[in-house]
Chains A and B, each alone.
Chain A
């Protein structure tokens, strides 16, 4: 067991996946000598050579589109999109090609592609560097979408994503890149809980908080704070957004009867909307109060100096907890 940052854990995941399977390739902008703008691919080119750690031209559709061809030829490419906001030029290749080739060819062609995306805000970045585009990909069948929240998961889930015969969009919260935690590197990814399963990050009895990525930490902070008020929050780290593990989610909701969903992506037609709708369909008779969403606002990601008003913090999560518990909250007295 070692103490590693999330960036290092991912780096180690890439290294071991490449060492184990010569068909694994890493490609993206600045990932070679520089080691990526977040140093996630640090020293991989030195170790595996420029044919397997490929500095590509600056063209996102080109990166994903050529990875499709490499996958057709039997490779397992791991592509890095430099920042969340730069995945849009590759959107067509991801949703029309990567996601659909297996279906289009009735299973003859596999697309074992992993698309790594440094993701979301909270790091004081420039415009286009803090986007949360996950809902676009969750809405696209044929893609698996995962979001990691800690170094251990980052390591194991990356290896599982690379081993998967399906394409995986793999979101890495930037604001956790440098958070350290203990990582077991010798877990066999095949024996670890699959990336499609949710994790109960903290057990509780009063309210279920559904979240993923960096918001897991916020939800856990909220749970600590709530405990002081005698309220017990159960925090579910979804880990996978497609598919969602509704077994784990449902078990928790049936236990608590109250649901708060939190993510930093905008609200309208977001992942939270889907979670609330699905939980309501599945667990309506167990619900004591309507589920509540705590999300980013439906605005373009704001400038860095204002981002704290956009990304839900512990207090906004606690306010939502008060709402589902019918305690005084920000809406008390407001005509609805």
Chain B
């Protein structure tokens, strides 16, 4: 299956965004997609409820992150409101032992991989560059250098090939990242070696203030076939389509057929980060159009239509979200900053005389203060 839904240069943002594969319309109605349908046959109402819960919890984590930043409890937060379906749908298609390589905005991927609240707030608070062990979550540290992780994913997948394993690596990056050399080099390596990697490009229309048209004059999913990689352009606000497309892509890679590429067409509702002011570069109306395409609302509509959105369920999800938000807050507020000399830890795996000397010297310097205070 090689599906590219548009092969014309992007003319009009408003109409092009609908040129995507989907299973759930913005109004919450199920539609049949001949390519995607087979990948969600087993997804029943209970499974859709779980996806809904994940998305609501993620939105709540995200809102808490923003609030914590406003209150000075974390230094920065990169919101992902609007992208819940893309993150949850794709990440839920991975097996626990597959390896994800997310970017800074993929809080939902870390959450779906089993990350604890401290795993997604402490780095933003500045307590550590990464606060989880990548091998425990089978998830690399959230990447800040745009596109760098795409190569790590391909290398990891090449390692899987050499080990004779059947894991898949998933590289997550934004539309802006597709302009980077690394993402293009990653596609060359993946294709040439047939590596079991899935590229997930979250096209949220903006790279800080630059619209996607500055990065691409052609739908991003349309580039992959040029590298020999089959691709799909899916509705990134449709969690069923994201799940189905990712299952297709992962299955393709796992069966040894090589890499696959997804472009999830979605929208970042909030600022790029809490330091950003999106009113300087984008229209209110654009945001409103996307508000009507909300990924959570459409699942709610679907569940209502299926009589699976009763008060009990709603109350349960709300209680879970409250509890998780409290844990996120607690993780941030209860953080204990490491002792000063720990900044010298783990620079090297083996002793390094230069660092060792600097640690000793700085310890002596700090001790000097302790001595002054004592006397």
Contacts and interface: CB of A to CB of B under 8 A. Distances in A.
Contact of B154 (A66, A89, A247): A66
A336 interface: no
B346 A106 contact: yes
Contact of B189 (A62, A108, A243): A62
A66 B150 CA distance: 9
Contacts of A100: 129
Given A97-B148, A109-B134, A65 B185 contact: yes
Interface in B355-372: 355
Given A73-B159, A110-B349, A242-B354, A97 B152 contact: yes
B353 A69 contact: no
A57 B163 contact: no
B130 interface: yes
Contact of B159 (A57, A74, A242): A74
B133 interface: yes
B114 interface: no
A89 B182 CA distance: 10
A244 interface: yes
Most chain B beta-carbon neighbours within 10 Å: one of A73, A102, A142, A164: A73
A3 to B, nearest CB: 33
Contacts of B182: 61-62, 65, 92-93
Contacts of B163: 73-74
Contacts of A65: 148, 150-152, 154-155, 182, 185-186
A201 to B, nearest CB: 20
A62 B185 contact: yes
| Most chain A Cβ neighbours within 10 Å, of B148, B152, B155, B159 | B155
B9 interface: no
Q: Size range of the interface on B?
A: 35 or more
Contacts of A25: 162
A181 B103 CA distance: 50
Nearest to A97: B148
A64 to B, nearest CB: 8
A108 to B, nearest CB: 4
Given A75-B162, A142-B348, A66 B355 contact: no
B160 interface: yes
Interface in B284-312: none
A69 B185 contact: no
B325 to A, nearest CB: 26
19 contacts: A56-B189, A57-B185, A61-B151, A61-B181, A65-B154, A69-B156, A69-B159, A69-B169, A70-B156, A70-B158, A72-B99, A72-B140, A72-B159, A73-B155, A73-B163, A89-B181, A103-B129, A141-B347, A166-B348
Interface of A: 25, 51-52, 56-57, 59, 61-62, 64-75, 89, 92-93, 96-97, 100-110, 141-142, 144, 164-166, 196, 242-247
